[in-house]
A = this chain, B = another copy of it.
Amino acid sequence: MKALFLCGGIGKRMSPFTEDKFLFKFLGETLLERQIERVIKAGTDKIIAVGNSSNITRIKELFGKFPHISFDTMVQEQPLGMANAVECAEEFLSDEPVLVLNPNDVFDTWAYQAILERHHNGSAVAYLMATEVSDYFPGGYLVANEKGELEQIVEKPEPGKEPSHLVNLVVHLHNQPRQFLRYIREKADRQRDDVYEQALEEMVRDGNKIEVVNYRGAWCPIKYPWHLLTAAAYFLAESEGAISKSAQISERAVLEGKVILADGVKILENAVIRGPAYIGEETIIGNNVLIRDHCHIGAHCVIGYGTEIKHSYIGDNCWFHKNFIGDSVIGNNCLLGAGTILANFRFDEAEVQVGEEKVGTGSNKFGAIIGDNCKIGINASILPGVKIGPNSIVGPNVCLTQNLAANKMLFAKAPEFERRQK
């Protein structure tokens, strides 16, 4: 069985992060690695990835970690959607079945096993995984008959106009990929952006049976930065606690609940880590630090004296010091000056919204989103929902109430002073 990962898309909603979503790390491994492990475990032995010119080298690198598996890669020159991505992989697709996968959505491992099992026992030309939603989700909706056979796909209906509760998850098994490719080429209107879904519908119209596999497990789609928090919590829940033998833990430190410490982690005196929590390689958790509520902290960080981190995703190489970081997402190589606070609660106690577009985070506790390579001075105040673009600098004592774009420096002009002789 082959698995085809569609890695060519570009996720603008992840701003200020520019990295592909499947390259974010969870518990020390990129999401793509974790996806590959899952499909291998489910029985796949050949992997194809369609990437883009920016990420294909990195994808190949990651494939190097699985020497016993056969890998093929292709570049999708332009982000022309799923159907185009499948076409890019054409030379690797025969008449053998293939799993088509979105690497940015996290599912339980058994999701892949379940769809493979249905295929082994069934006779459909394709199997589409779907999950029931109770609230509106901005995706594709599947309409199935009572036998679970696909009748229609409706891409991104307006809220309230959903034709069903079944959202299309991109875990698709195509039994005859070459036939599917023909439908893409010959039957779909290539001007539209739902070519993939049109092809599926046309197959149904021509009497091909496509089955909808109802999935009731975990599902973490990563669309916005705060979904990294959900995904991190998911992987923490799924994993066992594990303390590396090379971790050094002060006997005055407290680890409570499920804590994962990677190699070379140091936990200094009076630090408290309340699991579930992940601390990456060589990271130092300083004196009196408190880590709580599902924190995921990258490698080579220094979480300095007197810092509290609550329910946050922190990248690699970050340096903090006497900070409060709550319900926040911070990229790699960020530095926060002592006394700097990321507020995570509005005075009106309303849902925190992010960006000019005021996208709701779904929570009234949310802090900041800080891109890679940012520096923030001492005693700065960053308000809930603020986004800071990569490579930017926020000066000391600044109260940041609005987003800051990438590659900027923002300082408060020196206030007028009253100078008095004593």
The chain A residues found within 8 Å of chain B, CB to CB, are 252, 254, 268-270, 272, 287-288, 290, 305-306, 308, 321-322, 324, 337-339, 341, 343, 347, 375, 377-381, 383, 391-393, 396-399, 401, 407-422
- List 12 other contacts, CB 8 Å, given A347-B377, A408-B421: A288-B290, A308-B338, A339-B341, A339-B379, A339-B381, A377-B381, A381-B397, A397-B397, A407-B421, A407-B422, A412-B418, A413-B418
CA distance A306 to B338 in the complex (A): 12
Closest Cβ–Cβ distance, residue A324 to chain B (whole Å) = 4
Closest Cβ–Cβ distance, residue A274 to chain B (whole Å) = 9
A interface majority secondary structure: loop
CA distance A416 to B338 in the complex (A): 23
Name the B residues within 8 Å of A339 (CB-CB).
324, 339, 341, 379, 381
CA distance A413 to B398 in the complex (A): 12
Name the B residues within 8 Å of A401 (CB-CB).
414
Q: Is the CB of B422 within 8 A of A418?
A: no
CA distance A364 to B416 in the complex (A): 29
Cβ-closest chain B residue relative to A420: B409
Name the B residues within 8 Å of A413 (CB-CB).
415-418
Q: Is the CB of A305 within 8 A of B290?
A: yes
Cβ-closest chain B residue relative to A324: B338
CA distance A396 to B418 in the complex (A): 12
CA distance A341 to B322 in the complex (A): 10
Name the B residues within 8 Å of A377 (CB-CB).
343, 347, 381
Q: List 17 A-B contacts (CB under 8 A).
A: A268-B272, A305-B308, A308-B338, A324-B338, A324-B339, A337-B341, A343-B396, A347-B375, A347-B377, A347-B393, A398-B415, A409-B419, A410-B419, A411-B420, A412-B418, A413-B415, A413-B417
Cβ-closest chain B residue relative to A375: B347
Q: Is the CB of A399 within 8 A of B412?
A: yes
Name the B residues within 8 Å of A391 (CB-CB).
422
CA distance A290 to B377 in the complex (A): 21
Closest Cβ–Cβ distance, residue A396 to chain B (whole Å) = 5
Q: Is the CB of B379 within 8 A of A399?
A: yes
CA distance A378 to B269 in the complex (A): 27
Name the B residues within 8 Å of A396 (CB-CB).
343, 381, 383, 399
Specify which of B308, B375, B378 is in contact with A306 (CB 8 Å cutoff): B308
Q: Is the CB of B412 within 8 A of A416?
A: yes
